[in-house]
Amino acid sequence: MKDPNAYIGVFDSGAGGLTVVKHIMEMMPNENILYFGDTAHLPYGSKTDKQIKEYATNDVAFLNGFPLKSLVIACNTADSVARSTLIKEFDLPIYGVIDPASKAAAQATVNGKIGIMATKATVRSDAYAQAIRRYRRDAEVYSLACPLLVPLVENRRYKKEDQVVTIILKEYLDQLTCHDIDTLVLGCTHYPLLMDAVKSLVPDLKIISSSYESAKALKASLERTRQLNEGSGSRTRFYVSDDADAFRENASVFLNYKLGDEVEQVAV
C-alpha cells in the first residue's frame, strides 16, 4: 500500500487541470498535491496522438520523480489518447476524467441522449461514447469538438456576461441541443469555468463536470484503499514548462486564490 502522506500527482496541458485540483482540495483538504501544467505545449487538443502520448509520458515521468501515491490525468485529451500508454509505462494507480464523467452522465440521463463538448483529439478518440455505452448500452452520444473554448478560458474569457463567450458557446450548443439531448458533459477540464455561461444558455440540461466527477471518484478510491491522508495541513506545489508568471495569473481564476513561490518553471 502506498504511503497516505505521499503526493497526489496531477497533470494537464495548462491551467485547466486546476479545476480538478480545486475539487480535490475541497473534498480532501489534507492531501498533498503536485501539479504539472505543460504550458509549453498547450493545447493538447489540437496535437496528433503521437505528440499527446509523448507529452503525457514526459509529464508523468517528471511527477514520478516525487513520492506519489496516485496520479490524476486532469486532461480529457491525454486521458482519451494516452491513458493506456501511461498505464503500461508507470507502476502507479492512475485515475482519469473520462470514465467518472461518463458514468455520471449515463446515470443522469433520462432519454439516453447525451452531448459531449470536448477537444478535437478527445472527439477523434471516441473515448466518451465508448465509456458511456459501458454504463448504458442504448445511449445515443453526440460529441462535438469545441476548439475555441480552451484559448478563451486560458485568456480569462469565460463569464456569461461576455458577448464573445455567449456567441461561441451558443454556436456549439445549438449543434448538440438539436439532437434532443437531456445531459451535457463538459469534456475538458477548462470548461467548468464556463459552467455559468452554459447554464444560462441551456438551463434545462443536466450538466456533468469531468473535473468534479474525477475528484469524487479519486476520493472514493482512496477511502476504499485506506489511503486518505488523515493528517493535518497539506503541501501543494505547482510546476509548469513555460512562463510561471502567466500561470500564476491564470491560476488565481481557477483556484480563487493567488499563487506565489509554490509555482516553478522546469524543463521537461
Please give the positions annotated as active site.
Answer: 75, 188
CA atoms within 13 A on the CB side of 192: 25
CA atoms within 13 A on the CB side of 134: 12
CA–CA separation, 79 and 124 (whole Å): 13
- Do residues 172 and 144 lie in contact, with contact meaning Cβ atoms separated by under 8 Å? yes
CA–CA separation, 241 and 104 (whole Å): 33
CA–CA separation, 101 and 121 (whole Å): 17
Could you check whether the bond before residue 4 is cis, i.e. omega within 30 degrees of 0?
no
Q: Give me the phi and psi of 166, to 5 degrees please.
A: -60, -45
| Residue 245: burial class (beta carbons within 10 Å; 0-12, 13-18, 19+) | exposed
CA–CA separation, 94 and 84 (whole Å): 10
